[in-house]
Structure 1
């Protein structure tokens, strides 16, 4: 359960592996452990990249010189109906040692987003002439088994208007640094309103802008003291980065406005399993140092539609983003223009 709480409250998308089945997975041998963990983890890191990529704009109307807005932005990236992301087919022919307990050669198993439970596997090998050793264990399930169907992210964002329709943006998550968890997020963006160059800018009912935003999230989880597996300096180091390139249009009304955008997201996640791990069960008992690194590249077209309510200095906005993973974004904003 701790891995789920960390995932939700700290918005880190790949720390879950540390608290479940790491000893068992490594007992299958390093190659099998890396292959399985990659397939298990990639969907949740992909959802994480989509989640941190949103929320860069709530209007196409760039702020004038000196105009500013400070926002608290939250994203909920859902996967309830993403069956293709909640499970993958494990074919034992692709693995060196991993076998299904019931004799199957291929079946659907859970990813870090899924809810398939009770899948038992084993590893068996001859450790000496005539002596065979076997270890049985259950494959890990995912977030849906904890009744969670979304990946969250959140941050504080600030926007300031410059000259000639240009607005710069910055986002950050205040640094969290505890005994076992470190996490932080920052990002930079720019928006340019092309309609500001038109002679009739002041009377046009709509604005059209281009937005570019870069986001970086890093997280580290030190689980040496959790007794998951014997060893030293055990930790997971996760890094996420993403670019969002969007074209945006919005209305220009005094109180309630509507906006929409079409964009392209590209990003990457790197998850390092670091430290010393002493596998003491099964036929492949050995010690691993910094066992493996998992990388996942993500890209796709996205579109969104949203609305913004302005009440003096106080504003509210919400939008729905459609892509490989759909995301609901909401913001509480304070500003002056």
Structure 2
């Protein structure tokens, strides 16, 4: 179980690594750092929202009373090209300027890979000047997706209703604490029809809620002086899906169309002391939060192989962040 928890651990570590790389922007003052880090990190948060929301179903055929399935599910939300960069306009900043004199330029987000963008900040008299390079993102490490993994349990109730629960056992290390849980409900409308047993397809509605919390302490990385530097992350997502699937004994195909909505708040906590440039000596405590909302239509297609107690499934979702979901399942009925 711990190995699956480590997948979220790695995603949160990647998020924090990108955040730590962006901390040099504190040299431009807290307001500029707030604006830059929100633009830089929001695509990573959005990708995580899509990643943790996948994998709620692998069939529209709800389990009968007493039927159950235990699944180990992994998701990979792919980083879209238009989320790997953003336009930084220095007119929107109080102090940050491009070294080459540009007013606006395409720069990397936490998902991207644009190197060699140099900026500076200086005081009104030009006596104190600090130059630094803006950070690249996860693509510079050949990471072009945001992963998640969890265990999911589904149990059949009466009249075509199935209840689901997903969880990621909390893990704690010296630097990271992370955990996740979710609940869902699926209702098979074809179970209400007299001819249900002879129909070749099933049609269901699915609702799922997922909540993730994580804390990453990066004080020891010494990117910028300070104490108790950490990220406190909270994410919530809802999905609403209409699902159709075949009802064959061994191999089945399924697809869904629906809507995702979610939000993420990442509080940047601790103290941060600027050690160079015009703001040298300034100290910021719990300076700001990175808040991200995600919403949009999602659609997926997939297949499930059933060999008695053992099953496998895989599906691909098309949305703002396309997602590949793969699962190993063990079930009865």
Which TM-score band (shorter chain)? over 0.9
CA contact (8 A) 1:267 1:298 kept: yes
How much does 1:224 deviate? 1.8
SS in 2 for 1:232: coil
Superposition CA RMSD, Å: 1.4
Give the distance between the partners of 1:206 and 1:268, measured in 2 at CA.
Answer: 34
User: What residue number does 1:3 align with?
Assistant: none
* Alignment map for 1:162-173 (pairs within 5 Å): 162-173=157-168
Residue range with higher mean Cα deviation, 38-47 or 227-236: 227-236
2:120 maps to 1:119: no
| Matching residue of 1:88 | 86
User: 1:176 Cα shift?
Assistant: 1.1
Gaps of 5+ in 2: 1-5
SS in 2 for 1:330: strand
Write out aligned runs for 1:89-108 (5 A): 89-108=87-106
Q: Deviations over 1:5-40 (max 9, x none)?
A: x88753326323443141x21110111001000110
Who is 1:74 aligned against? 74
Q: Secondary structure at the match of 1:69?
A: strand
Kindly indicate whether residue 236 of structure 2 is the aligned counterpart of residue 238 of structure 1: no
Q: 2:246 aligned with 1:251, yes or no? A: yes
Q: What is the aligned partner in structure 2 of residue 266 from structure 1? A: 261
For 1:100 and 1:75, locate their aligned partners in 2 and report how far apart those are by CA, in whole Å.
Answer: 38
Residue 34 in structure 1 maps to residue 34 in structure 2: yes
Within a 5 Å distance, the mapping from 1:1-337 to structure 2 comes to: 9-12=9-12, 14-22=15-23, 24-79=24-79, 82-126=80-124, 132-285=127-280, 286-337=282-333
Say if 2:9 and 2:176, in contact at 8 Å, map to a contact too.
no
Deviation, structure 1 residue 152: 0.6
| Structure 2 Cα separation of the partners of residues 153 and 257 of structure 1 | 25
Any runs of at least 4 consecutive aligned residues in structure 1 with deviations exceeding 6 A, and if so which?
A: none
Q: Distance in 2 between matches of 1:283 and 1:8?
A: 39
CA contact (8 A) 1:66 1:161 kept: yes
C-alpha distance after superposition, 1:39-78 (max 9, x if no partner): 1011111111111111000000000011000000001111
What SS does the corresponding residue of 2:15 show, helix, strand or coil?
coil
> In 2, are the aligned partners of 1:14 and 1:271 still within 8 Å (CA)?
no
Contact 2:217-2:231 within 8 A present in 1 as well = yes
Residue 18 of structure 2 contacts residue 138 of structure 2 at CA under 8 Å; is this kept in 1? no
Cα drift, residue 226 of structure 1: 2.2
CA contact (8 A) 2:84 2:109 kept: yes
Question: Secondary structure, in 3 states, of the residue corresponding to 1:231?
Answer: coil
* Structure-1-length-normalised TM-score: 0.94
Distance in 2 between the 1:18 and 1:228 partners? 10
Q: Measure the CA separation in 1 of the matches of 2:316 and 2:131.
A: 44
Contact 1:77 1:326 in 2 (8 A): yes
Deviation at 1:113, TM superposition (A): 0.6
Q: Distance in 1 between matches of 2:98 and 2:21?
A: 19
Q: Does the Cα contact within 8 Å between 2:8 and 2:149 map onto a contact in 1?
A: no
Deviation at 1:228, TM superposition (A): 1.9
1:84 Cα shift?
1.4
- Does the residue aligned with 2:209 lie in a helix, a strand or coil? strand
Superposition TM-score, scaled by structure 2 size: 0.95
Contact 1:279–1:287 (8 Å) recurs in 2: yes
Query: 2:250, 2:122 → 1: CA distance?
Result: 68
Question: In 2, are the aligned partners of 1:14 and 1:238 still within 8 Å (CA)?
Answer: no
The DSSP-based 3-state class of the residue aligned with 1:190 is: strand
